């Protein structure tokens, strides 16, 4: 440790900061703390319910990003009460099209004929069941959960990266004034949230491609929550509890040189 003459910013550390600065830091940390809890709650209520069960699981992440491409009303009926209406090959062909998101390009050229051959004698005659001479009505029963869209992911990714890195920047900056924290631990705690943020956002894109990456999203989220909670608690503790012993801790930044 370097010798710190009294005049050399010996108050520059979390316990000894002047009150106005503590008020600023604490105000920011409190709002961010509430904000992070709200974010957690929101994740539980939106993504958490994606598989119909409360609580966040790997399946929720798969449903939210990858989707559930095998499940449409069309597919389940073709394996259920409509199973006898067309031969296996035709039913598989229709299901394959639904899994791809029932693209309209293939309707006129191919699927319109398939439905005409097997389905429309009822599904255009019997009132109250969908009319399969119309693409829109087929599209409705063929709807699957295609997961996140590229444009949706791009939007959420950049908002997330810009917005959250600001939060981590300020939490890290405040924490950098902590005392009694080994320099390496400080560096790790400050870098972790950024690294996990990248992992988190990257994992959404990877999960869109393959459901196997869903666990990365969970690791990313847990990683940066833990790292920022740690910095949050240490900072608050040092500003308001450790400071009560009246000790002068010296220039925290200089100690980390």
118 with 85: CB under 8 angstroms? yes
**C-alpha 161: how far from chain center:** 11
What angle, 0 to 180 degrees and rounded to 10, lies between the N-to-C axes of helices 150-175 and 214-240?
A: 30
Tokens of 95: 């299901």
Here the tokens at position 29 are 């940390």
- Give the per-residue contact string, 77-96, with ligand HEC (x = CB under 6 A; - = no): xx--xx--xx-------x--
Q: Which of residues 223-252 bind ligand HEC (CB under 6 A)?
A: none
Rounded to 5°, the CA angle 154-157-162 comes to 125
The residue from 126, 156, 188, 241 that contacts ligand HEC (CB under 6 A) is: 126
Nearer to ligand HEC, 88 or 150 (CB): 88
CB of 105 to ligand HEC, least distance (A): 19
Burial class (CB in 10 A: 0-12, 13-18, 19+), 237: middle
Q: What angle do CA 34, 37, 43 make, to 5 degrees?
A: 140
Task: Supply the minimum distance, in Å, between the C-beta of residue 115 and ligand HEC.
Answer: 6
Q: Which of 23, 31, 45, 121 binds ligand HEC (CB under 6 A)?
A: 121
Pick from 24, 38, 45, 122 the residue near ligand HEC by CB under 6 A.
Answer: 122
d(CA 235, CA 177): 8
- Candidates 36-44, 98-106, 114-122, 244-252; binding stretch for ligand HEC (CB under 6 A): 114-122
Map the footprint of ligand HEC across residues 24-83, applying CB under 6 A: 73-74, 77-78, 81-82
Chain residues binding ligand HEC by CB under 6 A are 73-74, 77-78, 81-82, 85-86, 94, 118-119, 121-123, 126, 129-130, 141
């Amino acid at each position: 440790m370097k010798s710190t003459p009294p005049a050399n910013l010996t108050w520059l550390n979390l316990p000894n900061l002047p009150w106005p600065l503590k008020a600023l830091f604490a105000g920011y940390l409190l709002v961010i703390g509430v904000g992070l809890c709200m974010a957690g709650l929101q994740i539980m209520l939106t993504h958490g319910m994606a598989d119909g069960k409360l609580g966040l699981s790997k399946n929720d992440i798969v449903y939210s990003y990858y989707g559930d491409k095998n499940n449409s009303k069309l597919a389940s009926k073709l394996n259920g009460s409509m199973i006898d209406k067309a031969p296996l090959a035709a039913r598989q062909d229709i299901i394959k099209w639904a899994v791809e998101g029932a693209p309209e390009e293939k309707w006129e050229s191919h699927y319109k004929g398939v439905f005409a051959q097997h389905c429309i004698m009822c599904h255009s005659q019997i009132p109250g069941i969908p009319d399969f001479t119309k693409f829109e009505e087929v599209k409705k029963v063929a709807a699957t959960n295609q997961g996140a869209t590229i444009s949706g992911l791009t939007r959420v990714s950049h908002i997330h990266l810009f917005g959250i890195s600001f939060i981590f920047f300020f939490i890290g900056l405040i924490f950098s004034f902590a005392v009694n924290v080994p320099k390496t631990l400080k560096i790790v705690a400050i870098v972790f949230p950024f690294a996990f943020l990248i992992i988190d956002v990257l994992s959404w894109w990877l999960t869109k491609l393959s459901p196997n990456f869903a666990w990365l999203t969970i690791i990313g989220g847990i990683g940066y929550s833990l790292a920022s909670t740690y910095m949050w608690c240490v900072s608050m503790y040092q500003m308001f509890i450790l400071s009560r012993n009246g000790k002068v801790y010296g220039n925290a930044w200089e100690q980390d040189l």
